[in-house]
A and B are shown apart, each in its own frame.
Chain A
Amino acid sequence: MWTFLGSECMFFGSLIATFLVYRNQSTTGPFPDEIIDVPITTVSTFVLLMSSLAMVLALNAVQRNQANLGRFWILMTALLGTIFLGFQAFEFNEFFNEGLTPRVNLFGTTFFVLTGFHGAHVTVGVIWLLVMAGVITPKGLSAWTLLGAVLGAYAILVGILGLLDVIRNLSDVGAVIFIAAGAVVMVAAGLKHFSIPTKLNVASQAGNLEVTALYWHFVDIVWIVIFTVVYLVSANDSIETSEAIISGLHGGG
């Protein structure tokens, strides 16, 4: 796993290097200062950081062989990761509306490919977490209740995204129905799920979960670098800085 993460470091290193090399190289707008919204992304960054905390708690619970608690925190991690992805979908959607696409200029190209590949890694992580939650679930009724709770949670998310107009062809009424139905299913299935007594031995899965956790923390750390580079450092790049740098390049030979 460590060798895999070393390789991933080079992967994201190259993508971030591309972003930095092409910083202030766009010949047309939109430029970052017209587009980037640091406060909203700060919130989503916080969500992702909290998911790492949940991951730590999950691993801790599984190591102490507490199946229900471990499963709860794993699902919490996956949910926080999904919320982060929701923010990203919202952000991409906003940027599209404001005219920033991967094709329009270099900022768009490098921004969407870098954050998009990170988002893909988060998605893989969420799927992996859901698989791990399934792995430490006894077969039978509790597996079905778990599935119900997860589906309920995702129905709520779909509703929220609909309300935020990220999913456009979902009307507001439909979105509220999604949220309400999802909440009922989730709460009912969740209550039922955690009321089923199990003596499942989950500590044997701690090693596997540790690998999952390594991956998850890695994806988190990469995001902190991306957040710093793309949002904090570059947020004020404007048409003026770009023109200054481009003319400097050509003037200086």
Chain B
Amino acid sequence: MAEEAVISKFPNPFPRPKTNRGWISWVMTVDHKRIGTMYGITAFVFFLVGGIEALIMRLQLARADSDLVSPEVFNQLFTMHGTTMIFLVVMPIGAAFFNWMIPLMIGARDVAFPRLNAFSYWLFLSGGLFINLSFAFNAAPNAGWFGYANLTEVPYSLGDNTTFWLIGLQLLGVASLAAAFNFIITIINLRAPGMSFMKMPVFIWMSLIVQILLVLAFPVITVALIELQFDRLYGTNFFNPVAGGEPVFWQHMFWLFGHPEVYILILPAMGIVSEVLPTFSRKPLYGYPFVVMAGASIAFMGFFVWSHHMFTVGLGPAANAAFALSTMAIAIPTGVKIFNWIGTVWGGQVRLQTPMLFSLAFVALFIVGGLSGIAHASPPTDAQQQDTYFIVAHFHYVLFGGSMFGLFAGVYYWWPKFTGKRLGETLGKWHFWLMFIGMNITFFPMHWVGLDGMPRRIFTYPADSGWETINSWSTIGAFIIALSILLFIVNYFRTWRREPTYEADPWDGRTLEWSIPSPVPVYNFKEIPTVEYLDDWWAQKYPESVNAEPRERSPGQPAPAGAEDMLPLNGQDVSSYGASSYGDDEDHGIHLPDKSYYPLIAAVGFAFFGGSLMSAWWLTLIAGFIMMFGIMGWIFEPVNDPPPEEENPGGHPEGYSAEAGH
């Protein structure tokens, strides 16, 4: 008989608790649904923080020559507003949907590496708190969200402001990278049997593309930030012109990351809309392969357009012309997508419920933002528009009118799946219309004031500039948006108090997540489904739509019960699911990944380590020790505890409900 390897005998000072209730079960959870919920709630809190920053700026700009906030505070406000909304709101809300929906839409029980998933969340939270901690030291980042060197170098940016920014971004970058590896491997390896790549839902496709972009783009910004960090903390010369360093090199590195980043922000919303529009039009997505390939080519071309952010730097006519052409070429696949979305709705049985309203608004507003984007793809035009409010108008149409509307569509669309009840429809419509109107009042006038020459990032403007009326309108619009978000919060609490309706398939959906109960049971799928068609759930419900005989499952019924005769995940390798025991009736025989403390310890240690680089060396040493302890404990902790029969004769307690947090 073979001897045991030491690995399973390593002392474990933090054995896993068995509880499934209370805060401790959330702190150590590795369940993709709970992690997704935590991502969503955290990102929404940051959304409120970033929104308040925006409102203060709008109040300051409502009147000419205003002195509500000082120029220094204004710098901190716009820097933190941009950084927060991009890295702490849109990206993590995307991550919330990836976490929740990827396993549900591909028919899996969890992501490929559940503990790595928890690590990503805790590192994201630590990084977000770390950046915002700078307010407590009165040293919030103040050099703009793209932190141009050498304005961010020591002689020009004293104090810890920029150091907070760059270390915080490093932490968030590592968190995103870890999540990206996880999701790529999940999508490639854990798809339900029969789900070939061209039968994946479009949202899964867009998720996959986003993760690939993350994996390729984030290392570039990581290196740029490392170089800046070494310059600031250790006196190296990367961006020091006196020693021959080139500030423009920072711009190249930043935008080589920065332009793919805008697709990281928009593609999840495009994926959501590509699910919502077919469902609420009761038609399949028009030209599925074209939408998929357009998404992939947008992502690919996104790596070859970065210098359109640098037309006014003076790279020469040849470079400007090349990047202008590649930028305009991206409009082609984007246009393909828009035509496909319109083609999907065309002639469909359209139901104008809240998710559909947000999706249609996404398409409309994204067209506006896309058109103004094409405008400054032309270098001469851009020379006029660079660093004006025209640019601010453009990217708010794309990121707020685009990304945020798409993400809200996803919130309303999948809320019944998360909690077992729909968000209130009346308040939802009020939310939508106020947000839609407020958004256009805020940002549309910015086109005019921008073309009139108002620069972005100025803390005030003179009364005789003639910009006051338009700026007052923008401020009014911003408060209408704030009111709409308030209504969303009211809607959330009112819905929370209502009894769940437990509708499994409230919208007559098309994809696999609607085939399982709402709220989702902890194990997701009792039986891993077998996929035959694109939009397989629709094909099961309406076999005539694919000219097929009805399958065993009767229309409209959730997947058949059948834990008794369940085979181990259709004969697949079960170890990757963390499934180690079958035949335990308490959990329908499905053993889920065990909880763990170590991702939390490793993530906090990592964040502490990053932050400590700003202070004493012995803090770094302590932090390094905590981090190594977390990682080592993680490695030597067995992936799964022994089956519960040995240690815990009672089996798993009940109450493992997915809606416990709402």
Alpha-carbon distance A105/B245, docked complex (angstroms)? 9
Alpha-carbon distance A223/B518, docked complex (angstroms)? 52
B residues with a Cβ closer than 8 A to A are 1-7, 9, 177, 180-181, 184-185, 215-220, 222-224, 226-227, 230, 234-238, 242-246, 249, 253, 635
Alpha-carbon distance A137/B215, docked complex (angstroms)? 35
A contacts with B: majority SS: helix
Asked, given contacts A6-B215, A6-B216, A105-B243, whether A113 binds B236 with beta carbons under 8 Å apart, the answer is yes
12 A-B pairs with CB atoms under 8 Å apart are A3-B180, A10-B215, A10-B216, A21-B246, A103-B234, A106-B238, A108-B237, A134-B7, A137-B5, A198-B3, A199-B2, A200-B5
**Interface pair A137/B236, CB less than 8 Å apart:** no
Alpha-carbon distance A7/B223, docked complex (angstroms)? 12
- CB-CB < 8 A to A241: which residues of B? none
Asked, given contacts A102-B236, A131-B635, whether A200 binds B244 with beta carbons under 8 Å apart, the answer is no
**Interface pair A109/B237, CB less than 8 Å apart:** yes
**Interface pair B227/A113, CB less than 8 Å apart:** yes
Q: Which residue of A lies closest to B635 (CB)?
A: A131
- CB-CB < 8 A to B177: which residues of A? 7
Alpha-carbon distance A22/B249, docked complex (angstroms)? 10
Alpha-carbon distance A31/B242, docked complex (angstroms)? 17
From the candidates B5, B220, B246, name the one contacting A10 in the complex (CB within 8 A).
Answer: B220
* A205 in the interface (beta carbon within 8 A): yes
**Interface pair B215/A14, CB less than 8 Å apart:** no
Give chain A nearest CB distance to B575 CB in angstroms: 10
- CB-CB < 8 A to B218: which residues of A? 7
Give chain A nearest CB distance to B3 CB in angstroms: 5
Give chain B nearest CB distance to A128 CB in angstroms: 9
Q: Which residue of B lies closest to A25 (CB)?
A: B244
* A237 in the interface (beta carbon within 8 A): no
Per-position binary interface string of chain A over residues 191-219, scored 1 when its CB falls under 8 Å from any chain B CB and 0 otherwise: 00000001111100100000000000000
**Interface pair A3/B184, CB less than 8 Å apart:** yes
B-contacting residues, A1-36, CB 8 Å: 3-4, 6-8, 10-11, 13-15, 18, 21-22, 25-28
Alpha-carbon distance A28/B237, docked complex (angstroms)? 12
* A53 in the interface (beta carbon within 8 A): no
Give chain B nearest CB distance to A28 CB in angstroms: 8
- CB-CB < 8 A to A137: which residues of B? 5-6
Give chain B nearest CB distance to A112 CB in angstroms: 8
Q: Which residue of B lies closest to A128 (CB)?
A: B635
Alpha-carbon distance A25/B242, docked complex (angstroms)? 11
Known: A14-B219, A21-B249, A117-B226. 12 other contacts (CB 8 A): A3-B180, A3-B181, A3-B185, A6-B216, A10-B215, A10-B217, A18-B227, A26-B244, A103-B236, A105-B244, A134-B6, A199-B1
Per-position binary interface string of chain A over residues 116-148, scored 1 when its CB falls under 8 Å from any chain B CB and 0 otherwise: 010000000000000100111111000100000
Alpha-carbon distance A26/B237, docked complex (angstroms)? 10
Give chain A nearest CB distance to B596 CB in angstroms: 18
**Interface pair B6/A22, CB less than 8 Å apart:** no
- CB-CB < 8 A to B180: which residues of A? 3, 7
- CB-CB < 8 A to A202: which residues of B? 5
Per-position binary interface string of chain A over residues 210-253, scored 1 when its CB falls under 8 Å from any chain B CB and 0 otherwise: 00000000000000000000000000000000000010000000
Closest 6 A-B residue pairs measured CB to CB?
A201-B2, A14-B223, A10-B219, A11-B219, A25-B244, A109-B236
Alpha-carbon distance A158/B2, docked complex (angstroms)? 37
From the candidates B217, B222, B230, B249, name the one contacting A109 in the complex (CB within 8 A).
Answer: B230
**Interface pair A106/B243, CB less than 8 Å apart:** yes
Q: Which residue of B lies closest to A21 (CB)?
A: B249
Q: Which residue of A lies closest to B221 (CB)?
A: A14
**Interface pair A135/B244, CB less than 8 Å apart:** no
Give chain B nearest CB distance to A89 CB in angstroms: 18
**Interface pair A14/B224, CB less than 8 Å apart:** yes
From the candidates A15, A21, A138, name the one contacting B4 in the complex (CB within 8 A).
Answer: A138
**Interface pair B244/A27, CB less than 8 Å apart:** yes
From the candidates A4, A11, A25, name the one contacting B181 in the complex (CB within 8 A).
Answer: A4
**Interface pair B6/A138, CB less than 8 Å apart:** yes
Give chain B nearest CB distance to A240 CB in angstroms: 15
Q: Which of B181, B216, B222, B223 has the most CB of A within 10 A?
A: B223
**Interface pair A27/B243, CB less than 8 Å apart:** yes
Q: Which residue of B lies closest to A65 (CB)?
A: B2
**Interface pair B238/A18, CB less than 8 Å apart:** yes
From the candidates B2, B6, B216, B234, name the one contacting A7 in the complex (CB within 8 A).
Answer: B216
- CB-CB < 8 A to B246: which residues of A? 21-22, 25
Alpha-carbon distance A26/B215, docked complex (angstroms)? 32
**Interface pair A200/B243, CB less than 8 Å apart:** no
Alpha-carbon distance A106/B227, docked complex (angstroms)? 12
Alpha-carbon distance A112/B217, docked complex (angstroms)? 24
- CB-CB < 8 A to B245: which residues of A? 22, 25, 106, 109
- CB-CB < 8 A to B236: which residues of A? 102-103, 108-109, 112-113
- CB-CB < 8 A to A135: which residues of B? 5-7
Q: Which of A7, A109, A200, A246 has the most CB of B within 10 A?
A: A109
- CB-CB < 8 A to B222: which residues of A? 11, 14
Q: Which residue of A lies closest to B238 (CB)?
A: A109
Asked, given contacts A14-B220, A14-B253, A18-B227, whether A106 binds B237 with beta carbons under 8 Å apart, the answer is yes
Asked, given contacts A26-B243, A131-B635, whether A105 binds B237 with beta carbons under 8 Å apart, the answer is yes
- CB-CB < 8 A to A200: which residues of B? 2-3, 5
Alpha-carbon distance A105/B237, docked complex (angstroms)? 7
Give chain B nearest CB distance to A115 CB in angstroms: 14
**Interface pair A113/B226, CB less than 8 Å apart:** yes
Q: Which of B181, B243, B249 has the most CB of A within 10 A?
A: B243
- CB-CB < 8 A to B220: which residues of A? 10, 14
**Interface pair B235/A7, CB less than 8 Å apart:** no
- CB-CB < 8 A to B227: which residues of A? 18, 113
Alpha-carbon distance A202/B5, docked complex (angstroms)? 8
- CB-CB < 8 A to B215: which residues of A? 3, 6-7, 10
Alpha-carbon distance A14/B252, docked complex (angstroms)? 11
Q: Which residue of A lies closest to B2 (CB)?
A: A201
From the candidates A4, A108, A138, A246, name the one contacting B3 in the complex (CB within 8 A).
Answer: A138
Alpha-carbon distance A136/B236, docked complex (angstroms)? 43
- CB-CB < 8 A to B4: which residues of A? 138-139
Give chain A nearest CB distance to B495 CB in angstroms: 38
Alpha-carbon distance A138/B181, docked complex (angstroms)? 32
From the candidates B7, B185, B234, B249, name the one contacting A102 in the complex (CB within 8 A).
Answer: B234
Alpha-carbon distance A137/B5, docked complex (angstroms)? 6
**Interface pair B243/A7, CB less than 8 Å apart:** no
Alpha-carbon distance A105/B181, docked complex (angstroms)? 37
